[in-house]
Structures are given as C-alpha cells and as structure tokens.
Structure 1
C-alpha cells in the first residue's frame, strides 16, 4: 500500500498499515519458530516490510493540502453511491470555504460581496472516491515535494479545524471557532450545514492527524449555531504602542480613544508576518519585531462583532497591516 497508486490520505494509510501490523503480530504470537518455521519466517518478513512502509510514510513530509470528506446518512445508498446533486453542491461549498479562507489569509480581508480574489490558486483536485460511507479525497494540485506547509495546506487545516468545532458539544469549543470566522466564511458555513441537515447527512473529515465525525445531532447543532450568528466587520487605522509575538501570531495594541486608554488583543494576519520578513510586494524592507514597541505605530486593525442568540455581542480583533511608525 503506497502513495504511488491510488491516492490515499496519509492518516488513512498509516491507520491501514498499523492495522496490518497488528494482525501480523497476532499471527506471530499464535505460533513459534520451532513449531512452524516457514510460517514464522513469512510473517516475520511481512512484519518487517510493514514496519518499513510505516516508517517511510510517517517520515515523509506532508506539506501540501489534502482533505478527506466522507458522507453518510440520507444522501448515501449503502456502498452503492451518493445523491449526485447533494455531492456536487456539498463539494462546491467545501471548495468555497477553502478558497475564501485562502484568499483572506494571503490577500487580505475579503469584501462583503463580490468575487473571491485568485480563486484559481486555491482549487483542489478530487483524486479518489472512497466507497462505504461515500467519500472524496481532495488534494492540492501541483508537486508534493515541499518541505514546509504550503499556504493552501494551512487554509485547509484551518477549515477542518473550524468544521470540527462548529458542531462540538462544548460551547466554549464552538466559541473559539467563531472568533476565526468572517462574514463571507460564515455565509458559506451556514449554507453547507443547512444542506447537510436538509438531506439528513453525516460528515466525517480526515485531515493530517485529525479524524472526526459530525453525526446527525452535531450537524443539526452546527446548522442552528451558524444560523443564529451574525458578524459585522469594520476597519480602522489607529495609532498606539504595538507588542508583537510573531511566533504565536498574536498582538497587543495600546491606544487612546476619547481620552481613555484601550488595549486590543488578537491575531496577526499573514500579511503582517510577510511585512516583518520583508516579503511584501512594494519592496518594503523587513521590520524588526523587537523594535516595534519602541515607538508608536499607525496600524490597520479589523474588528469583527460577533452576535449570537441569547449572548451579549463580542468583539474580535485582527492586526491587518503595519502602516508606518509615528516618530
């Protein structure tokens, strides 16, 4: 079982090899070399072969995007097939989620309406169709030899994480996911979970080391939550003292408004990280993060107000851009 043949998610490949290894080890435990030398030799050789395959798969870097989506429930007829209309539209929803997350990460916040920038760079390929609870393996187009995570892989990982949290029993886990959403992403999530709920579908997602199932109850809960949430976004330029933690991609910003001191905390956009590393398009030199707090800065901050049923509104902040120091 290798990746040279039919495309297979690495986690599923690892799970299959571990299951094979467990079966072979059980066979070895049931006999001895003295009683069955030929069988002992064959199973020992097979055990060594599986262990080598497992080590190779686990050691290989997985830097490109891959995602396994498995549907069950209403739209699936056993192992025979799946409702074509449902499958096509559900995959379209998932691709839209990935594209919106990717574009927001790479090219800045999305406009409330209009086309998603550079959607062509975030398109994934369906590389396998899995029977059983009918599923699809989606992978990033292009070569898979990268040693570091591609931007598309990071976007796919984030979407998988959001999907796992939206239907979680723990309300606090869902609230963490809510802080990662924007208005455009929420609209597509709402549409996706409404589609699953209407068809009575379940959803299993496999991504990297993650493997989780959203059963009918979780899908209905996710549908209810996404319909019960509204997000309002606003952008502002502010001047103040900025403290950056590039490795954790977090910030703290101290500013004055109306004669009162305010502290904003939140996530740092990939664009700011590129500014620090000197990788922006306008040839701006790299910015030393250690010196930023030494002088006030004008920055662009996006604030999202999250409104949920029976809860007070919450504000989530994101540092979008370093504009210039205020000497």
Structure 2
C-alpha cells in the first residue's frame, strides 16, 4: 500500500484514539486509559517509521467518487476501465521522459513493458484501486524507475492543477506531447463522467474535486497537439544510438536540423552496416514527423521525429544526364 495512504489511515486511527483517551477520567490508574495511551504511542511509532522508510517500488492508490460511484463498493465498469487505461498511459509517458528522450507521439513507447502497473487491492472504505509494480526479486536500496515515474506523474498533475495560466503554459511547453495528450484524456474522462479523483503515492498526493476537474479539463480544451509528416532532402550528419538524436543538414536551409529518431530506425541503423554506409554523410531523403503543441493558437513546443531514411543515389544519377 502507498506510504501516504497508510499514514492517512494511521492518522485517522490516532485521532480516534486521542478522542477515546480524552473521554476518560483523569485518573492515571485506569486500565482503559493505559490501553489507549499504549495504542496512541504505537500508532505514532508506526507513522514515524513509515515517514522515514518509504518503499522503493511503485505503489499508488487511485480513489474515485462522484456520479460513477455508488456507495462505497460499486463503480461503473466503463468508467473504471477507461480511467485506469489512460492513467497507465500517463505512467508510460512519464517513465519514458525520465531519460530525457523524445517520445514518439504515436505507436509503442520504448520500454512501455517496464511501466506496467497491476491492481493489487481495492481501497477500503471508499471506491479505489491500489496499483503496484510486480515485486522485484530482492529489495533495492534505491527507488525503481517505475516508482520515480509514478511520483513524477502525480507531481506533474498537481502542478497543473494549481498552476497560474502562465505556469500552465510553461508546464505544457516543457512536457512531452505524449504525456500532455494522456493527461488531457484523463481530465476529459473525469469531467465527462462527473467524477472526482484522489491520487496517493508514496511521496506525493493529489485531490481533484469537481471544480478542479472542470478547470483542468477546460484548460486542456485550449491545448491542441498537431502532427505533420514532412519529407526533406539533405545530408545525414549522424544518428546517435544511445540518445536516438539525429542531425541533418537540410538542402537550402541554414543550420542543422536536430531531433530524435524512432526505435525501429535506430535499430536498423545500428545492426545493418550496409544501410548505415549508404546514409552517413551522404545525400538522403528524410521522412519526418513534426509534432506541435499549441495553446490558444500559440505554439508552445515543436518536436521533430525522424521516422525513416533512404539514400538519394538514384536522384543524383538522374541529375548527371
């Protein structure tokens, strides 16, 4: 269970124990008083222990309320399926950004399999799910990448929820379009369903009431992520296998075009030496995808993804006749 959720439950127990203690006579010799004093001390000890010994693997609680929830044990299947699937996409995009690499706006995210969360339990006393990563073979001293991704995602959502208009633009500007799109869908699913949400991790938590959900969703209606396929001729200066960065000297343009190459292209570039020799420092035709993030028609961010390459040998031969 997420540390913060466990701490919340213990703090509620501590309040109850404190009230029971205050309702007893002042005599220090009563058995009941001694029992509640011991219980209060034990709860306080557990809280302090949890605060200093957070789990190193990913664990997060998603708790919902509002129209899709009936009582404390029933939730609409279509809503829960949609919202959990979109939350998983948020985590996959968040994990992919940990390496500061550009993420393709469509298709499979590199390393998405390592970002999988699993429903471990339900939240008692309310309608929610406890999501965790599969337990590693042995306990690690450091946070797993997936835990960092989960905590970063919660922190990002919280920052958007409380951000001023200027800070919201800044956050969207620096975030990967894939992450922006996933959060946009998450807010829309909550608003369309008339739902509220509470996200509680090991280190960060967030509560989205109806007003918060409506504001966040309305802000995202002003955000538009557009894609454009572009073909350019130029000279390939290189593709870096580790970072997936590429550099292309475009015909008729000053400077060097830089961006990120797809996983499939990098894999072929590294494994196929003949393919690489046809392209490196030679005339090529580059097939690119531009992804632009706008808010109120103002360009916030542009991402360039190199999807494929082919040599221009044939074109050059035709040019000599």
After TM superposition, the score normalised by the length of structure 1 is: 0.65
The answer on 1:119 being equivalent to 2:119 is no
Say yes or no: does 1:199 pair with 2:193.
yes
Instruction: Measure how far apart 1:175 and its partner are.
Output: 3.0
Asked if 1 retains the 8 angstrom alpha-carbon contact of 2:68 and 2:194, the reply is yes
CA distance in 1, matches of 2:149, 2:132: 13
Q: Matches of residues 1-327 of structure 1 in structure 2 within 5 Å?
A: 8-31=1-24, 34=27, 36-106=29-99, 108-143=101-136, 145-168=139-162, 170-231=164-225, 306-309=293-296, 312-315=298-301
Task: Answer whether contact 2:92 2:109 (CA < 8 A) is retained.
Answer: yes
Distance 1:33 1:223, change over 3 A: closer
- Does the residue aligned with 1:202 lie in a helix, a strand or coil? strand
Report how far residue 174 of structure 1 moved: 2.4
Change beyond 3 A, Cα 1:73–1:33: closer
Task: Give the 3-state SS of the residue equivalent to 2:47 in structure 1.
Answer: helix
SS at match of 1:24: helix
User: 1:122 deviation in Å?
Assistant: 0.9
Which whole-Å CA distance do the structure 2 matches of 1:172 and 1:78 have between them?
A: 39
Q: Offset at 1:113?
A: 2.2
Which whole-Å CA distance do the structure 2 matches of 1:51 and 1:132 have between them? 22
Contact kept? 2:98, 2:149, Cα under 8 Å: yes
Q: Is the 8 A contact 2:62 2:130 kept in 1?
A: yes
Q: Deviations for 1:29-50, whole angstroms, at most 9, x for unmatched residues?
A: 4446746432232222222322
Instruction: Name 1:278's counterpart in structure 2.
Output: none
State the match for 2:245 in structure 1: none
Q: 1:113 to 1:25 in 2, by over 3 A?
A: closer
Higher helix share: 2
CA distance 1:51–1:195, change in 2 (3 Å): closer
Confirm or deny: 8 A CA contact 2:225 2:292 kept in the other structure: yes
Aligned-partner Cα distance in 2 for 1:153–1:233: 31
Q: What residue in structure 1 maps to residue 242 of structure 2?
A: none
Partner of 2:268: none
Q: Per the alignment, in what secondary structure is the counterpart of residue 119 of structure 2?
A: strand
With structure 2 as the length reference, what TM-score do the two structures score?
Answer: 0.66
Give 1:160 shift: 0.9
Kept after mapping to 1: 8 A contact 2:4/2:201? yes
| 4+ runs deviating over 6 angstroms | none
CA RMSD of aligned residues (A): 3.6
Q: Matches of 1:131 and 1:147 in 2, distance apart?
A: 30
Task: Tell me the SS of whatever aligns to 1:135.
Answer: strand
Query: What is the SS of the residue equivalent to 2:143?
Result: coil
Write the distance in 2 (CA, Å) between the matches of 1:306 and 1:153: 28
Shift of 1:217: 2.4
Worse-matched range after superposition: 103-112 or 73-82: 103-112
Instruction: Provide closer, same or farther for how the CA distance between residues 258 and 221 of structure 1 changes in structure 2, counting only shifts above 3 A.
Output: same
Higher alpha-carbon Rg = 2
Separation in structure 2 between the aligned mates of residue 214 and residue 12 of structure 1, nearest angstrom: 16
8 Å Cα contact 1:21/1:51 also seen in 2: yes
C-alpha separation in 1, matches of 2:21 and 2:71: 36
What does the per-residue CA deviation read over 1:286-315, in whole Å, with 9 as the maximum and x for residues that have no partner? Answer: xxxxxxxxxxxxxxxxx98642116x4345
